[in-house]
Amino acid sequence: MKTVLFTHKDDIDGAGCEVLLKAAFGEKNVEVFPCSYGDLDEKISKFIDSGALNSDDVVKVFVTDMCPKQETMEKIAGEENCGKFQIIDHHDHPIDFYQYEYFFFSQQRDDFGLCSATSLFYNWLVAKGNLSPSKALNEFTERTRRSDTWEWKTIYDDTMADDMSELFNSVGYDKYVKSMFEKVKNNSFEFSDEEKEIIAERREKIAKAYQTALEKLKERKVCNVDGVKVAVVDIEYEFRSGFSQYLRDINYPADIMAIADFDNNRMSYRYLNPQVDVGAFARKFGGGGRNVAAGSPINQQIIDALGLETSEKGKN
């Protein structure tokens, strides 16, 4: 008997859901499919087409920190065992998606502030009796929420929450999940000396990357896409959230920051002007997300809209 998870592989919020899944059901009783916006629907469709959903071996299928497109939602709804699915997300979605309320749940804010997928998933698992709260789990979930919503900076000045994100960006998805799972399993949420050194080195790398990216940005025109001013930034994908905050801090004259990651066929968008809905912008190009952060696949439509050069492949 196993529990299946499809989750976002590109940040600590998606990774945090895998940590909670393993804490709830055990490492040997789960199967995880880390996904990007470009392959989520394909992976879910292949899973359904394989017949795995109708197997007695699969008891529950979670989708966290992401949501399938309408076509895939309809495919899930058409399955006899669609009740095994539970989609838990904190992004904004078309109103039509709420017709699937028996397996779809999305919430952007609660009494404690902005939601993250990890915080929603934690509350769901605890409410269903699958997971017992602990000091380490509480801290892990809350710091993940603060990092993902940027409340670590805007409200709490919680540098440890930001350090978690930088550790993730340094060691990658798998090593991060392994490290965080060990911490919550042992009920001791502290960085090791090695992790502290990795984070310090990361901070030095960030400072150099920001300086270089800003110099390159000065040489590139801001794009106007249906009245939205988009700054296309040449910086490694992993720096997307931090550099967007840096641009906001210096009041850079654009509405949205965009980064093209050709190697993984994905665009990342971050808000610079709070009056512009980044999620709505991403949906125009086959993506999705929240009003402050979103992503989409790289397709010809976005290449033409932003004047991207395909020769840039491999730079990020």
pLDDT tens per residue, range 58-78: 999 999 999 999 999 999 999
Residue-level pLDDT at 311:
53
pLDDT tens per residue, range 163-221: 999 999 999 999 999 999 999 999 989 999 999 999 999 999 999 999 999 999 988 88
CA 159 to each of CA 15, 37, 213, 243, 266: distance values in angstroms, whole numbers, following the listed order: 19, 28, 23, 16, 28
Residue 310 tokens read as 């395909």
CA distance 13 to 215: 31
Residue 206 is inside which H or E element, if any?
Answer: helix 193-217
All domains of the chain in start order, with CATH: 2-191 (3.40.50), 217-312 (3.10.310)
Asked if 272 and 252 count as a contact pair (C-beta separation under 8 A), the reply is: yes
The list of the chain residues with pLDDT below 70 reads: 95, 311-316
